[in-house]
Amino acid sequence: MLLLIAVCALFAVLYLGWSRQQRARSLALTRVKRQCETDALQLLDDTLILESMRFKWRKDNTPVLCRCYAFEFTSTGDERYAGYIQLEGYRVASLQLMPHRVQ
C-alpha cells in the first residue's frame, strides 16, 4: 500500500512539473509569435527548443527557474536565422533575434 502511494505521488510530481513546463513554453511561443508578427518575420516550424534550464537567485534571495528556448525565423523566406527567448519563472527576461536581412 505504501508503494502505491509513493508511485502515485511520484506521478503527481512529474505531471505537475510537466504542466508547468508546458505553461512556460506556451507563454514563450506566444511572445515569439507576437514579436515575429510585429517585425514582419515568419517563425519557422512554430517550434521552440529548450536549450537550458537553471536556477537563478533574485535580488530578494528567492530562487527562480530560468528557461532558455531557441527558435528559427526568416525574413525573406530563403534564409534561416536563430532567435532566443529567456524566461525567468513566467516572465520574459529577454528576446533576441540574430541579425537578419530586412525586406
pLDDT of 18-69, one tens digit each?
A: 999 999 999 999 999 999 999 999 999 888 999 999 999 988 889 999 999 9
pLDDT over 90 at 99, yes or no:
no
Q: Residue range 7-15: average pLDDT?
A: 93
Largest CA distance in the chain: 65
- Give the residue from 81, 86, 71 showing the smallest Cα distance to 101: 81
pLDDT tens for residues 70-85? Answer: 999 998 888 899 999 9
pLDDT band at 5 (very low <50, low <70, confident <90, very high): very high
- C-alpha cell recorded at residue 7: 508511485
pLDDT over 80 at 103, yes or no:
no
